[in-house]
Amino acid sequence: MIRFYDVIKKKRDGLSLSTEEINYFVRGTVDHSIPDYQLTAFLMAIFFRGMDERETADLTMAMVKSGTQIDLNLPKAVDKHSTGGVADTTTLIVAPIVAACGVPVAKMSGRGLGHTGGTVDKLESIPGFSTALNMEQFRMQVAKIGLSIISATAEVAPADKVLYGLRDVTATIDSIPLIASSIMSKKLAAGATHIVLDVKFGRGAFMAHFDDAKRLARTMIDIGTMLGRPTTVLLTSMDAPLGSSIGNALEIEEAIAILTGQGGSADLRAVSLALSREMILHYYPDMTVEDALQLASEVLETGRAYAKFKEMVEAQGGDLTHGLPQAKFSATVRAASSGFVQAIDPLLLGSMSVEIGAGRHKKGDLIDYTAGFVVAVRIGDRVEQGAPLLQVYSGHAVIGEYLERLATAFTICDQQVETAAWRIERLT
């Protein structure tokens, strides 16, 4: 008989756990037979001692089996996940591009929490759009139009929900095996046979340092390999907001601008095409990287991707004919001096967007779909004193002190700033 005290002690001493011991831990997490104080002690032991590849894969599969495992009835189910960022609207661009290329997209997404936005919240800013499809409706829509995005169900990897809640309040979030198993378990339980991951690094990312992000990426690739789920990772920079818009309806507007060729951030477009390319390559393995990118670019430029987006919106009850909800109030943040934009702090902007209602401090908080920012400049731009840096949108008026704090997100210097293409590194 397993005593969880002995399991904690074993991991505390840096020893490898058996598959049976890991399964016992996950079962006890879900049925609450292991008390929280022992679970948190165990999580701290993992935080300091880590887990090897086999342990991490075992933990992932135990979490998959802790709840419902979805069968999408597809020969291949290619899923995409981002570790979270500011103005990261890629799913809303990638999914219709890929679906327009003939790759079925059956995606479960989450809501925003903290400074990062959630795809479900963004879609629900479209009047009438429903992300609460049941599994039969979900499968039928994918079979009919090749694309559906719904909110994740509580039955998928329930162990992860319990453990994440404990990690969040015990300073054990930043553990690579725990992060990797959390992400991969939800992808596998949701029916993914092939996985594309966008792992962020930089000031606004979960992993601030590139080397840490790369270790996380390698860990998830190893899990996918061990469990027979081919996995590709793109490491992408999050030292500045990816898109120009931060906030739910505003990010929908930017996604539509890119899908229709009417504007939007060039960096957001580049990352979206790179992720689309990887999903296409998983579905059509005989394609070259160049051909997959060309196909993605073609469906974007010809309007086929936007047509697919509209088809999904209509299928899920959404109505774009009268536009998106508009904010009652707006204000402008202006440059205090002339010069070159050296830095834009994504973490500060993400956090301050939550303050005006664009996100949540805790689950259950109501959000203002109209609230958020549109950033008027990119790093390296020349600005004159008094030029607009950012436009604020909100359901209520914002005060001068708030605008002054927003202005500190922008660093302006005298010297011209060297800029490069948005950094993307590919790992397989």
Which domains, from first to last, does the chain contain?
A: 4-50 (1.20.970.10), 78-315 (3.40.1030.10), 329-413 (3.90.1170.30)
- pLDDT of res. 153: 77
Per-residue pLDDT tens over the stretch 213-246: 999 999 999 999 999 999 999 999 988 999 999 9
- pLDDT exceeds 90 at position 360: no
**Which tokens sit at 316?**
């899920």
* Catalytic machinery residues: 81, 160, 167, 182, 186
Q: How far apart are CA 359 and CA 354, in angstroms?
A: 4
- pTM reported for the whole predicted model: 0.91
Helix axes 135-145, 304-315, angle to 10 degrees: 150
Per-residue pLDDT tens over the stretch 242-294: 999 999 999 999 999 999 999 999 999 999 999 999 999 999 999 999 999 99
Per-residue pLDDT tens over the stretch 133-152: 888 898 899 999 999 998 87
Q: How far apart are CA 40 and CA 31, in angstroms?
A: 16
Do 206 and 170 contact (CB within 8 A), yes or no? no
- pLDDT of res. 116: 63
* Amino acid letter, 191: G
**Which tokens sit at 8?**
């904690």
